[in-house]
Amino acid sequence: MLVSEAEGGIQTWDKEKEGQEKEEEEEEETAPSSPNLPLAGKARAEGPAEVKPELHPLQNRWALWFLKNDRSRAWRDNLQLLTKVDTVEDFWALYRHVKLASKLSSGCDYALFKDGIEPTWEDSRNRRGGRWLVSLAKQQRHSELDQLWLETLLCLIGESFEEHSSEVCGAVISIRAKGDKIAVWTREAENQAAVLHIGRVYKERLGLSAKTVIGYQAHADTAAKSNSLTKNKLVV
């Protein structure tokens, strides 16, 4: 019975297909030929063309990284590349999709870096650089952290540091029990003019008061310290 039903189904399908082919042949015979229609006429005949939204490219492609502090694994193995964006639309789609920084577990990091640069001191484009570091109190996590991080991201993708934007490598947000940190990394710690310009613009964009001091630390100094008390190379 099953075989018979299957064969019948195939036969029925073949007949229907054959009937459709005949109908299509008849339509082709009766349809007027229109090879000389102008493009607009052809478009109307075929229906409205799909209009794709205009995308707004970023000056650089950016990569979002995630670090989960799993002490059973090597630090480098905990670093995961999530995705890359190169348009304004892609950035906002990504930002709305990922978990807010304030919702991350303690020990986790987000990092947004120019494509091709890893968020590690060892990367050749970071080795000679440093970071502007903003340290936050624990109570700021649920009041200011997400807004400060978003403003940091917008500074990066918007190339807000003008002619010195090429000195910027990326930014990191670190969620820690003792207090969260946001840092903007630059590639050359000895380029004092560029570093100071970036620091001043960044502080202004974050809306920090004049009394609030943020410091710049060279990666080489941070790597040489056994604790987190690295001396600031510059302050704004």
Which CATH number belongs to the domain containing residue 197 in this structure?
A: 3.30.760.10
Query: Token pair of 105, please?
Result: 């577990």
Q: 10 in a domain, yes or no? A: no
Which domain range does residue 206 map to?
57-114+126-235
236 residues of the chain, pLDDT tens digit each: 333 333 333 333 343 444 444 444 444 444 344 333 333 343 344 545 566 689 999 999 999 999 998 888 887 889 999 999 999 999 999 999 999 999 999 999 999 999 999 999 999 999 999 999 999 999 999 999 999 999 999 999 999 999 999 999 999 999 999 999 999 999 999 999 999 999 999 999 999 999 999 999 999 998 887 556 789 999 99
Residue 7 lies in a domain: no
- In this prediction the pTM is 0.77
- Identify whether 209 is part of a domain: yes
Total domains in the chain come to: 1
Token pair listed for 164? 């010195």
Whether 100 is covered by a domain: the verdict is yes
The tokens for 195 are 């570093």
Write phi, then psi, for 115 (nearest 5 degrees): -55, 130
* Strand order, beta sheet including 57-67: 79-87, 57-67, 109-114, 168-174, 181-186, 130-135, 215-218, 234-235
Ramachandran region, residue 179 (left: φ > 0; alpha: ψ -120 to 50; beta: rest): left
CA distance 161 to 168: 8
Phi, psi of 137 (to 5 degrees): -75, 155
Instruction: Give residue 61's identity as a one-letter amino acid code.
Output: R
In a domain, 27, yes or no: no
